[in-house]
Amino acid sequence: VLSVASPTAFGFLDENIARISLEGKGEISEESWDGRPSGLAVSEGRALSVIAGPIECKNGGWTQTLETNDLGFVNPNAEKPLGSLSAPGGQINMASIASEGEVIIGDEIPDIGDAAGGKITISDKSLIDVSGEGAGNVFIRCGEFVSDDSSIYAKTFGDIDGGGIEIQADKISFENGSEINSATYGGGKGGDITLKASETVTFSGIDEQSNVSKILIETYSKDDDAGNTGNLNLSAKDIIFSDGTYIHNGTWGSGDSGKVRLWAEDDICFSGIGYDHYLNYYLQIYMNENPIYPDASWGGMVCGAEMFSTGGNSTDIEIEADNLYLYDSATIFSVTLGAGDGGSVSIR
C-alpha cells in the first residue's frame, strides 16, 4: 500500500517522524517459491531507498534447503533467506533519523547531515541483498543498527566488479547467527565491507541451527582471471566478537584476499567457543576432529590461502587498539595451506 501526500503528513518536517515496518511471509516451501526475491525488490541495476524514523524489517521470507559446495561441505537443513529488500546489482539506501533534519539521497552515498540517527532493525531471517553479476552497494546511516538472525549480501557472480557494504552508526550489532557476505565467484572483484561506529561494533550469538554471527569475504573461482575479495575495514570505540563469532577472509581459488583492518579507540576482543557448522567443517579438515568437543569451533579471525586453492594469496591483517584481548581459544591468523602466499599480521 502506497500513500501520496505532502511531506508533513509523514513527519519529515517535524519531530513526529514516521516509522517504516516491512514484514515478510516467514518460511516458504521450496515447491511454492517462484524463484524471485520475496519482500520489496527493484529490477537489475536500480536503486531502493528506505528513509524514515525507526525502520524495521522482520519475519523475512526463507526456505529450508540442502546446502552443498565443491569443497565437500554439506548442510541438509540450511535456511536460505529469500530477501526482504533486494536490488540486484543496484543500490540500497537505508537512513533513520530521530530529529528534524534533511536526508540527502541521490546517486551518491546518503547523508543524514546533523540530524540525530534513529534505529534500524532487521530480524527473523530478513535479508538485504544487492548480489548480482557485479554486486551493488548497500549504504546504511542511523544511530543504532541491529541485525538479529538476519543477513546482508553483496555477492558477485560474474565478471563485473562488485560494490560493497557500508554501515555508519553510533552502535552496530550483529546477533544470533547474523551474517555479512561479499563473496565473489567469477572474475569480478568482491565488494569492500566497511563498518564504522562512534561507540561499538559487536558480533554475538547463534541461531537455532548453531550458526554464529560472522563476516565472510571469500573468492572461489579457479580461473586465471579470478576476482579478488574486497577489503574489510572495522572502526569503533570498541570492537567485540563473542560466542565464537568470527571473520573469514579467504581464497578457495586463484583470486587474492583483500586487506583486513581493525581500528579501535579502546578495546578489540575476540572470545568464546561456538558450534558453527561451516567453520567446524574446515577446522576438522585442517586439524582433525577435536576428540573432546567434536562439534566445537573457535572464534576470531581466519584469513588464508585455503586448502584446494589454486594460487590465490592470503591477506594482510592490520590491528590497532589500546587493548587487544583473545579469550577461550580465540585466534587471529593469516595462513597458506594452498599454492599462494600467506599474509602478514601487524598489531599496534
The secondary structure of the chain, three-state, reads: CCCCCCHHHHCCCCCCCCCEEEECCCECCCCCCCCCCCCEECCCCCEEEEEECCEEEECCEEEEEEEECCCCCEEEEEEEEEECEECCCCEEEEEEECCCCCCECCCCCCECCCCCECEEEEECCCEEECCECCCCEEEEECCEEEEECCEEECCECCCCCCCEEEEEEEEEEEECCCEEECCECCCCCCCEEEEEEEEEEEEECECCCCCECEEEEEECCCCCCCCCCCCEEEEEEEEEECCCCEEEEEECCCCCCCCEEEEEEEEEEECCEECCHHHHHHHHHHHCCCCCCCCCEECEEEEEECCCCCCCCCCCEEEECCEEEECCCCEEEEEECCCCCCCCEEEC
Lowest pLDDT segment from 109-113, 277-281, 297-301: 109-113
Highest mean pLDDT among 68-82, 94-108, 190-204, 285-299: 190-204
Report which of residues 286 and 332 the model is more confident about. Answer: 332
The overall average pLDDT reported for the chain is 91
Distances 94 to 57, 113, 154, 203 between C-alpha atoms, Å: 11, 14, 15, 21
pLDDT of residue 289: 82
Highest mean pLDDT among 97-106, 201-210, 272-281: 201-210
Could you tell me what percent of the chain has a pLDDT over 90?
Answer: 67
Q: Please say if the pLDDT value at position 238 is more than 60.
A: yes
Which whole number is the average pLDDT over 281-286? 82
pLDDT of residue 126: 97
Give the model's confidence band at 11: pLDDT under 50 very low, under 70 low, under 90 confident, else very high.
low
Do residues 301 and 260 lie in contact, with contact meaning Cβ atoms separated by under 8 Å?
Answer: yes
pLDDT tens digits, one per residue of 27-75: 998 888 888 888 999 999 999 999 999 999 999 999 998 888 767 788 8
pLDDT of residue 69: 75
pLDDT of residue 284: 84
Gyration radius (Cα) of the chain, Å: 20
Distance CA 247, CA 16 (A): 39
pLDDT tens digits, one per residue of 301-316: 989 898 889 999 998 9
pLDDT of residue 323: 98
